[in-house]
Structure 1
């Protein structure tokens, strides 16, 4: 089969997202969206903005309750919307690598047994069977949990261990749609590699002094604070605390997302082990060589959904990825 264009991939995956969610989220009832990613990782902000874009474009609605891990309140959620589905933000936090997010997930299931809770697309990774068993018990007691997963391995694990509805669903960041670069190209090749506990390797760039090596998990707090204040000010006249909180957090997500897009726009071609650099490069239409994270999340997602385009290349090694990216950059420069 011929390779898909990035626009074809985006449109196809947006359709799959809707097919997964249409039976659980409707325009006739309020929704809550919890676990806003109020931290520096640009990829999680991309997920959040895709979730908001889906609700806005498909259902013409915004969440009636929004919270982050730091400010979530079960009581406040009940006050804002006594009924309706609770949506939990997607990402790569389902398991025991990032325990705070898992604890919030389990506490929601415990607080609202029988109420529809939809886990938006996640990659699953457990190091401890005991932790997986604890989640299985929480799901069994709850009885109305829907789990969307981003790869076949996560789906197989979920169907084996959890008594709930499981659907294979693309990452919600695709619902942002195609985007334009926010900076001029400065480098033929830019390496965007993880600097956190999901990194698979300490890559040696001594042979590539001309290639910048960056990550997107550092930021200046001042621009984010200003964005939050401006976002809240735009809706302050509503005197609705939930609407103000939502506008404040959405503004922070936009600020972080723009920072990440400016960053990767500077490379004519990219080498990365981050899933959302891969996804954002597809949204940009930018060629990129892909390595994997510590537990295979990136390749698993590409195998399920996004590996059928000439813009992305599954590199066998750092050297292989750089060689491919340099070739793509040179072709772009010649064009």
Structure 2
């Protein structure tokens, strides 16, 4: 008879607890099979499991990760619902699985966890965002919806139930050393599935605290490293730990106020804290194959993990597309093993008048339109070639527009004087034009850096889509690069027109720009440059600003059924989110040229604004 559920138990050297775990599964009121994935036990773990009727699958210790062990069990399961259980744990009652199965009548439910209680007195809570917070699972409610998804609480595979079909389509990440459950929970909910957290079904998961304080510290530190790997930045700083401890103390009474100072709690908190920047590396899932892989292959021969780099032209302005490029560029560098936490960041080339000991390799942020239309981009190019003599200079992917004869001569002279300039162009027409006009430069075709971002990256910035916006959204340029046709036609039809530059800038953006303008206006250039280079905390502040800018763009796009736009990065972001895009090219042909080189099944082109808006008008 086909089992109603399959229990997958990960184990290594657990002869003292494996019997209790298997017994709790076999005692359930519904029939199930037991699969034990053993990763090289040296004791009687496998023998005990087989004697109790479990099917044992052995893997080498070197092959083990939490995600790989679960995926192997899911692949071997014979039922549609899989219980993932740690060998340390036991189900607390015999009807636990039977109650859990009732929630899987809803086809959108991907997984289930038990929690102690749910805020507001409700019996269960279904979330389209993962249940993750720095607080315990007893505070379910609006607080969770304000938290970022990478956190220590939330979906846990010490005792979870998952739908096999979804786990096969979206397997657990096998490259992570921990927190494969958090990454999976975020990924499946971004895809439109939901997770259910049921009050009163918590399975005690304090087994790691019984293994000693040293083991607890190592486990907490490993989880923090994995979450930092996913987030691209440290998760807990000492200030975060202090705030968390203060909240716990204030919310409890009597002796329970001392909970943050208990040895186990204190050691676990210390293991999670990042006292110094850790090197963040990306998993293979974080940077997708396809278009982004081409950019990795282009840079891999010239960028080794040991290389020091300077990052020029940080986007300190109100431009969501440039911020997407910047964050995508950082992801690519991390995927190549470059330590971005040590890379110096500069807002623009003019700040680098007297950079002390410049790095051997300088990357200038891509994007924009290299041509006479944008004088600032040309000025940045000339300044970089002049100021970074002796360094390898890489201009990240951009488009090439109309260049006057005088500009061509000036660019050629700058390239020849420098002697080591690499130009990455993001469409075939631009690359061919650059090879023809600038034969002494190293020219490569590569996609826009924003292509390195994934749907998980983008939706991690926005708690939930903005349902107040219309399902079909018009995002049109209002700057000098747009021809105004899409804006004009949309206004004639009384349609709401959105644009990246219309949304209010973040507070970080305003403070940074005011600070830069004040310093430039009040101090001589050399002194101002020294202050801007040495004094400002660039890495954390600038990257925070870029995330805030990208968040504005995602909030305009996420949740749409269709996007009509003449913006390249609105098209790229929407296609990453798998939203249909009707693109209207500007008079310069930038969008069509890009998607001819890097096609997307979600992007189609309209001949003009009238045809693009016809469906909305109808």
- In the TM superposition, residue 260 of structure 1 has moved relative to its aligned partner by 0.8
Equivalent residues in 2 for 1:124-163, closer than 5 Å: 124-162=400-438, 163=440
Structure-to-structure mapping, 1:151-300, within 5 angstroms:
151-162=427-438, 163-178=440-455, 179-180=458-459, 182-185=464-467, 186-202=469-485, 203-206=488-491, 208-209=493-494, 211-221=495-505, 223-225=507-509, 241=534, 244-265=537-558, 267-300=560-593
The DSSP-based 3-state class of the residue aligned with 1:53 is helix
Cα distance, 1:11 vs structure 2: 2.5
State the shift of 1:55 in Å. Answer: 1.4
Structure 1 position 69, deviation (Å) = 2.3
Distance 1:52 1:227, change over 3 A: farther
SS of aligned partner of 1:170: coil
**Equivalent of residue 99 in structure 1, options 375, 390, 404:** 375
In the alignment, the residues of structure 2 paired with residue 127 and residue 16 of structure 1 have an alpha-carbon distance, to the nearest angstrom, of 27
Task: For residues 66-90 of structure 1, give each alpha carbon's deviation from its aligned partner in whole angstroms, at most 9, with x where no partner exists.
Answer: 11128622312xx2x4332000100
Contact 2:304 2:338 in 1 (8 A): no
Work out which structure has the larger RCO, using CA pairs closer than 8 Å and 6 or more positions apart in sequence: 1
Q: Aligned in 2, Cα 1:228/1:52: closer, same or farther, shift over 3 Å?
A: farther
C-alpha distance in 2 between matches for 1:287 and 1:227: 36
Match of 1:232 in 2: none
The structure with the larger Rg is: 2
SS of 1:36 mapped into structure 2: coil
Is the 8 Å Cα contact of residues 303 and 336 (structure 2) preserved in structure 1? no
Change (3 A) 1:250 1:71: farther
Contact 1:150 1:301 (C-alpha < 8 Å) held by counterparts:
yes
Cα distance in 2 for partners of 1:89, 1:122 equals 9
Is the alpha carbon distance of 1:10 and 1:84 closer, same or farther for their aligned partners in structure 2, counting shifts above 3 Å? same
Contact 2:385 2:414 in 1 (8 A): yes
Note closer, same or farther for the CA distance 1:110–1:301 as it changes in structure 2 (3 Å cut).
Answer: same
SS in 2 for 1:102: helix
CA deviation vs aligned residue, 1:10-40 (integer Å, no higher than 9, x gap): 5201110101111111111110110111111
Residues 227 and 248, structure 1, Cα contact 8 Å, conserved in 2: no
Q: CA deviation at 1:226?
A: 8.0
**Distance across 2 between alignment mates of 1:150 and 1:177:** 19
Instruction: Summarize deviations over 1:197-241 as a string: whole Å, max 9, x none.
Output: 0002333225532x3211111343453348969xxxxxxxxxx94
Is 1:38 aligned with 2:316? yes
Residues 226 and 158 of structure 1, relative CA distance in 2, 3 Å threshold: closer
Pick one of 310, 314, 330 that aligns with 1:52.
Answer: 330
Aligned residues: 305
Q: Say if 1:222 and 1:121 are closer, same or farther in 2 by CA, change over 3 A.
A: closer
Q: What is the DSSP-based 3-state SS (H/G/I as helix, E as strand, rest coil) of the residue aligned with 2:398?
A: strand
Distance 1:149 1:88, change over 3 A: same
Deviation at 1:257, TM superposition (A): 0.3
2:604 paired residue among 305, 313, 316: 313
Over aligned residues, Cα RMSD in angstroms?
Answer: 2.7
Q: 2:561 is paired with a residue of what secondary structure?
A: strand
CA displacement at 1:104 relative to structure 2: 2.1
- TM-score, normalised relative to structure 2: 0.46
Alpha-carbon distance change, 58 to 136 in structure 1, aligned in 2, over 3 angstroms: same
Q: What is the TM-score of this pair, normalised by structure 1?
A: 0.83
Query: Structure 1: where are the runs of 5+ without partners?
Result: 1-6, 230-239, 328-335
SS at match of 2:407: helix
Q: CA deviation at 1:325?
A: 6.8
Matches of 1:253 and 1:159 in 2, distance apart? Answer: 32
Do the aligned partners of residues 254 and 204 (structure 1) sit closer, same or farther apart at CA in structure 2, a change above 3 Å counting? same
Question: Which residue of 2 is the match for residue 72 of structure 1?
Answer: 351
Deviation readout 1:130-168 (Å, 9 max, x if unpaired): 112210111011111000001111111110111111000
CA change 1:226–1:213 in 2 (3 A) is: closer
User: How far off its partner does 1:264 sit?
Assistant: 1.6
Equivalent position of 2:394 in the other structure: 118
Deviations 1:284-334 (A, max 9, x none): 1111100112311111101101x241x11111122322345789xxxxxxx
Once the two structures are TM-superposed, the CA of residue 60 in structure 1 deviates from its matched residue by 4.6
